Amino acid sequence: MAVGVLALQGSFNEHIAVLKRLGVKGIEIRKAEQLQSVSSLIIPGGESTTMAKLAEFHNLFPALREFVKMGKPVWGTCAGLIFLADKAVGQKTGGQELIGGLNCTVHRNFFGSQIQSFETELAIPEVAAKEGGPPTFRAVFIRAPAILEVGPDVQILADVPASSVITESAESGQKVIVAVKQGNMLATAFHPELTADTRWHSYFLKMVPEFGGTSSMITTTGEGSSFYERPRIDLPVFQ
């Protein structure tokens, strides 16, 4: 029962570490044929343009698109969200290739540059209802994208008020969508793998058929640490 983690660039090691805490093996995926050995996939955060160039170099895009079309669970975090979107704006000159399948439009650098990275509390009613714990999740946004528009088949799992973050891309009173689910696809603009709260990972694992949709196969406690322990806050916090 292994979960594939695209390991071209970015925070793939952090995702694999969280999966290990949950008693699940993560397999680094760098070649198209390796996708045949897993039935679910995490596309981590990183530099989306660099990841796209590496994926193109290794001829991964056709296999990744087929993986999504087959209905296998896929979770994209930050750059992974951009990869899964049907449309992306705010890209560098020339754009980048996308996997697609997620019926939404993503703004690549919605929250600004690296120095505008931040942490904030997100209300997560759907995840909290299924995974327990607090009704909020402390999310880490690093040079993060955001979802501008979603189709009718997309479920919004989390958003933030535009007034709570520093960005020139948002309009007054606007809700900024930062987490969605559509069928076999989960996408988050933030980095759950950089926190001690593993609920997003266990939520994704329940989308994987071989895990039976139950939490009985998943361990949720780490050695000497609370399941919902919050990491030390290093980034600016906007309330």
What is the set of active-site residues? Answer: 78, 191, 193
Would you place residue 173 in the very low, low, confident or very high pLDDT band (cuts 50, 70, 90)? low
| pLDDT tens per residue, range 178-194 | 999 999 999 999 999 99
Question: Does 44 have pLDDT greater than 70?
Answer: yes
- pLDDT for 186 equals 98
| Domain ranges for the chain | 2-211
- pLDDT for 220 equals 43
Question: Does 127 have pLDDT greater than 90?
Answer: yes
Count of all residues that appear for the chain in the document:
239
pTM of the predicted model as reported, rounded to 2 decimal places: 0.85
Question: Does 214 have pLDDT greater than 60?
Answer: no
- pLDDT for 30 equals 94
| pLDDT tens per residue, range 47-101 | 888 888 899 999 999 999 999 999 999 999 999 999 999 999 876 655 678 999 9
Average pLDDT of span 16-24 = 95
- pLDDT for 168 equals 53
- pLDDT for 48 equals 83
The CATH number of 2-211 is 3.40.50.880
Mean pLDDT, the chain, whole residue set:
84
